[in-house]
Every structure is written in C-alpha cells, then in structure tokens.
A and B are shown apart, each in its own frame.
Chain A
Amino acid sequence: MAELVARAGKARTLLTTLVMLRRERPDLFDAATGIGLWVLFGAFLIFAVITDLQLVVVGIILGSIVALGAIGLTLVYGIMKFANFAHGDMMMCGAYLAFFAFISGGSIGPLSFGYGMILAILVAMISVGVGSVVIDRLVYHPLRQRGSGVVVFAIASLGLAITFRALILLWWGPQPQIYVTGIHPAWDLPFGVKIKPDQIFIIATTLFLIAAVYVLLFRTRIGKAMRAMSDNLELARVSGINPDQVIMWTWLIGGSLAAVAGVLLGIQSQLTPDMGFSLLLPLFAATILGGIGSPHGALTGAMVVSIAQQVSTSWIDPGYKVAVAFILLILMLAVRPRGLFGMKT
C-alpha cells in the first residue's frame, strides 16, 4: 500500500514537472515531446513485433489503406483549411465504382484478380477524382466566393458524405459485396507470418502511389504550388499562383487516392456502404497524429494508428479497437496538438 502511494506520488511529480516545463519553457517541452513520442512509438513497435508479428503485418496492410486516405485528407486540409468529412465516403464510392467497372477476367499470377481489376481501379480513380473537382465547383466554390467559415465547409462535407452513402445504398443495397469470391490461400513466411498475395498487392500499390505523390509534390511545378499555397495562401496569390488551379489539382489527387484506398479496402475485406464512414476516425487520428497538412505525417500516423489498433486486439475485444485510435488522438491533442511533423504556429 505504502509502495503504491509512493509510486503515485512519483507519477504526480513527473506530471507536475511536465506541466511546469510546458508553461516555463514551451520550446523545450516541444522538443521533449517530439523526441519522446518517437521513442515511445519505436518502443511500441519493437514490443508489438515481439508480441505478435502477424498483427503488426495486418496493421501495416490496413495502415497502407488508411495512409492513402489520410494523405488526401491532409492535402485537402492544407490547401482549403477544412476537415473533409466526406473523405471516407469518397473512398467508399471509389470501391463501388470499381465494383461496377470490374469485369473478372482471370488472374495475374497468384492474385485473386486479373487485369480487369487494374482497369477498374483506374476507372474508380478517374471518376472519383473528376467527381471531386465537379463537386468542388458545385458546392465548395460558391461557399468560398461567399467567404464562408470552416464550420460551414465541414458541415457541407458531412452533408455530401451522407448523400454519397445514400446513393450507393439506393443502388447496391446494404448487403456486403465482394470483388472475387472463393478461397485464396495465404503464403507462409518466416516467423509464422501469413500474408495473401492480394495483401502484398495492397502494400505495393500504396508504396507506388505514395512515391508518385512525393514526386508530384517535390518535383513538379503544380506540386510545389500546392505546398506553397498550403504554407501561405495570400503569398501564393500575390506570386501569381492561381488558387483555383491548385484547388482543382488537389481534389483530383486527393479524390483518386481515396478511390484507390477504397478499392484496396474492398480487396482486403468486403464492400459495404458504411465502409468509408467507419474508417473516418482512424483517418482523422492518423492525420492529426502526424501533423495536419503534412503528407509524411499522414503516412506515419496511419501506420502508428493501424498497428496500434491491430496489436490491441491481443488484449481487448476487436470491437473496441476503434477506441484505440480515439485514445491516441486525444493523447496527441493533449501533449502535442501540432502532431509529429506539423508546423509550429
């Protein structure tokens, strides 16, 4: 008992020290939380790998899907400064549009699907990408003209999210859909890890697309303009950058990435009209964890959140794993609201 009290006392001193540090030396606190969180995530990853490598692998697969969604979300936030609550449902629309366009035609190697799926993914990317641009013109552009606040934008996106889901529900109904039925055996890898060829496809596609996003953001004129506008809208305008053009590209890229994420999620499990909405919390948690507006933050955040969620199922009921994303989100907001890679304000 006495030992417990002593320990509680120590914990209190640590907490008060941290609170004092935050008040007296915000710069030191900031550096400390930055390094501390990295150490914490590193330690957690090592611990997770030792506990259950299989869950870590599943976490990486889901993390890839979340990352594609979160990068789009963070780009849209960076450029237009609002939380796009329709992003999950844009993913879902992509999944269903690919389902619509998918003609099962054999299979590529060990994968469960063939070139028909590649074509379906392209159809989904183009339609969701172009669709987002059209919706921006119809919904968000008039709001921008009126100078509406961020809350109006967020609520408008929520309305769109509900609309998308209702439309899909109307067309395909609530029952789950599957791209390819049948049993697809997993490969046995060393250390008792099992992975399906389709899941390797998911990770590979994500790696390829993230590399493409990086080339775009850091090597092309429009990508640099996107980063510039996310830094400082006024200065971008006075430099002669056309905000409407940048916004169009942002939706095109964010929308097509969301579509791929949706298809990959459909390949990993199945298609349901609420598949996107139920991913919204991990998406936001990943974005905020990594630092809103930062693409590598979104990638890191997605991996941390997804691996944590999966590994947590060792101890808690999988039904509660969404709570893990929530807890991480709250912790991050309490300790370091700007996230791992976010800019100081």
Chain B
Amino acid sequence: MTMLEAREVVSGYGEVEILHGVSIKVEEEQIVTIIGPNGAGKSTLLKTVFGLLPCRRGRVLFGGEDVTGQSPQTMVRKGMCYVPQSENVFPTLTVQENLEMGAFIRRDNYRPKMEEVLALFPDVMERRHTRAGKLSGGQRQMLALARALMLEPRVLLLDEPSASLAPNMVELVFAKISDIRRSGVAIVMVEQNARESLKLSNRGYVLAMGENRLEGTGESLLDSEEVGRLYLGG
C-alpha cells in the first residue's frame, strides 16, 4: 500500500520557485532516499510535504488521504513526523523533556513509549537528565530521531540525518534508521551521503534543478553510471 505520495509538487520561497513538479512515492515500511546536488530542492520537498511550506500546485497524499496544504500540527496528528537537519533538539531542555515535547499532543500515558524509545538509544538513555545542549553531535541526532518516534509515526521525514557527523557516528545513525524501519515505520530521507544511504534504501530518487532526474531501487541507483559519476565521486 502506498503510504505517502507527492504528485507534481510545485513549491518555493517567496518569489523563487524551487520545485517545478516533483513526484515521489513511499510504500509501507520502506526507506526512500532522495539525493541530488545542492539546490536541487531536496529539503524543500520534505518541508512542502510536511506543510512547513505551502504547496503551490500538485498534491500530497498520506495513507490515501489528500493532505495538501495541511499544517505541520495536523500532519503530526495524522502520524507524520519530521526531523530538521540542524537545531533539531531543544538545547535547554533535558533529554527526557525533549522526548516529552515529542509526545506533546499525546493525551494518553506516553511513559512506556518513552522507555521503549530510550532503550533504542542506550547512549542517550544514560544521559536522560542532561540538557540536550550538552550532548555530542551524534547523540543529538539520536535524540532528534527519538523525539520524532514518541508519537509512533507511520512516516518519518529525515533531513540529512548524517550531516556533520563523524564517520563512525554516520554508520550508527544509519543502523538506527534501519532498526526504525524494521519496527514498521516508513522513512523518507534526504542525504548527501549518497552511497551509504542508498545501500539501506528500498528506493531512491535523484532530484536536479527542482525536477525528478532518476529513480529506482537503492541498488540500481548505486550501480547507475550517471549517479556514480555525479554523486558518488567516481
């Protein structure tokens, strides 16, 4: 079943149009990676799908329902969570309070879920009463993922989860993303780290100049000559 679909989405900032009609499709429990050069509109696509930017033309479908132009608050309630690329934790709040904020709209008892999420990230769990601003870059990224999981989303949108992380942390973050998918969450991520992210993806999309350039399974894109030349450095 198709979990999330963007159809011919047109969007941008102010006068500038960045996406000129981009389409992606995410099936249940899939990891979909979006790669492409800087300025291709990868982050813009995520923000538009999530309702942070107005969708000028085209449609966004979530679980078969048309959610075009809905606010982020509505998206969160419907089961879509988004992790921004940077500044994705509340620095003066403790780790635990960050997770509580992730569960802000939950009216039920979210404690069991919090323990479950913390168990996924042992590093972060050890420091649950530390202020998030004092965590290392990798730990912050883990906390950002954990925060987004508090609502038990059906789809997770990740904007460059491996950005500015040390190589061993990148590996760890990708391993966690795989774990999250295994727990039944579909994932859409934008990545610079094309090789590593395509390896664990079911599908990949290449965007260029605000348009779809290529698409295929993760492996087929890894083998593709054009992708290799443009984004994998050889």
List A residues at the B interface (Cβ < 8 Å): 221, 224-225, 227-228, 230-232, 234-242, 343
Q: Does the CB pair A240–B76 fall under 8 Å? A: yes
Q: Does the CB pair A238–B90 fall under 8 Å? A: no
Q: Does the CB pair A224–B97 fall under 8 Å? A: yes
Proximity string of chain B (92-112) to chain A, C-beta cutoff 8 Å, 1 when within and 0 when not: 110001001110110000000
Q: Does the CB pair A239–B147 fall under 8 Å? A: yes
Interfacial residues of chain B within 147-169, with CB under 8 A of chain A in the complex: 147, 151
Is the C-beta of B84 less than 8 angstroms from some C-beta in chain A? yes
> In the bound complex, how far is the Cα of B151 from the Cα of A239, in angstroms?
9
Q: Does the CB pair A238–B76 fall under 8 Å? A: yes
Q: Would you give 22 A-B contacts (Cβ < 8 Å), ordered by A?
A: A221-B104, A224-B93, A224-B101, A225-B101, A227-B90, A227-B97, A231-B90, A231-B92, A232-B87, A234-B52, A234-B84, A234-B87, A235-B89, A236-B101, A238-B52, A240-B72, A240-B76, A240-B104, A240-B151, A241-B104, A343-B92, A343-B133
How many whole Å from A232's CB to the nearest CB in chain B? 6
5 tightest A-B contacts by CB?
A240-B76, A231-B90, A240-B105, A228-B101, A228-B90
Q: Does the CB pair B88–A235 fall under 8 Å? A: yes
User: With a CB–CB cut-off of 8 A, which chain B residues contact A239?
Assistant: 76, 101-102, 104, 147
Assuming A221-B104, A238-B50, A240-B105, is B92 touching A227 (CB within 8 A)?
Answer: yes
Residue of B nearest to A224 (CB): B97
Q: Please indicate which of the listed interface residues A228, A230, A241 has the most CB atoms of chain B within 10 Å of its own CB.
A: A228
Assuming A228-B90, A231-B92, A235-B90, is B101 touching A241 (CB within 8 A)?
Answer: yes
14 extra A-B contacts, CB within 8 A, seeds A225-B101, A236-B90, A237-B72: A221-B100, A221-B104, A224-B100, A228-B93, A228-B97, A231-B90, A231-B93, A232-B90, A237-B52, A238-B72, A238-B81, A239-B104, A240-B73, A242-B73
Is the C-beta of B82 less than 8 angstroms from some C-beta in chain A? yes
Is the C-beta of B213 less than 8 angstroms from some C-beta in chain A? no
User: With a CB–CB cut-off of 8 A, which chain A residues contact B89?
Assistant: 235
User: With a CB–CB cut-off of 8 A, which chain B residues contact A231?
Assistant: 90-93
User: With a CB–CB cut-off of 8 A, which chain A residues contact B100?
Assistant: 221, 224
How many whole Å from B176's CB to the nearest CB in chain A? 19
List B residues at the A interface (Cβ < 8 Å): 50, 52, 72-73, 76-77, 81-82, 84, 87-93, 97, 100-102, 104-105, 133, 147, 151
User: With a CB–CB cut-off of 8 A, which chain B residues contact A240?
Assistant: 72-73, 76-77, 104-105, 151
Provide the main secondary structure of the chain A interface. Answer: helix
User: With a CB–CB cut-off of 8 A, which chain B residues contact A237?
Assistant: 52, 72-73
Q: Please indicate which of the listed interface residues B76, B101, B104, B105 has the most CB atoms of chain A within 10 Å of its own CB.
A: B101
How many whole Å from A343's CB to the nearest CB in chain B? 7
User: With a CB–CB cut-off of 8 A, which chain A residues contact B105?
Assistant: 240
> In the bound complex, how far is the Cα of B97 from the Cα of A230, in angstroms?
14
Q: Which listed residue (B72, B91, B101) contacts A343, Cβ 8 A?
A: B91
> In the bound complex, how far is the Cα of B89 from the Cα of A108, in angstroms?
49
User: With a CB–CB cut-off of 8 A, which chain B residues contact A241?
Assistant: 101, 104
> In the bound complex, how far is the Cα of B82 from the Cα of A228, in angstroms?
16
Residue of A nearest to B144 (CB): A235
> In the bound complex, how far is the Cα of B76 from the Cα of A239, in angstroms?
7
Q: Please indicate which of the listed interface residues A225, A232, A240, A343 has the most CB atoms of chain B within 10 Å of its own CB.
A: A240
How many whole Å from A79's CB to the nearest CB in chain B? 13
User: With a CB–CB cut-off of 8 A, which chain A residues contact B84?
Assistant: 234-235, 238
User: With a CB–CB cut-off of 8 A, which chain B residues contact A224?
Assistant: 93, 97, 100-101
User: With a CB–CB cut-off of 8 A, which chain A residues contact B133?
Assistant: 343
How many whole Å from A213's CB to the nearest CB in chain B? 16
User: With a CB–CB cut-off of 8 A, which chain B residues contact A228?
Assistant: 90, 93, 97, 101
Residue of A nearest to B97 (CB): A224
How many whole Å from A222's CB to the nearest CB in chain B? 10
How many whole Å from A234's CB to the nearest CB in chain B? 7
User: With a CB–CB cut-off of 8 A, which chain A residues contact B90?
Assistant: 227-228, 231-232, 235-236
Residue of B nearest to A237 (CB): B72
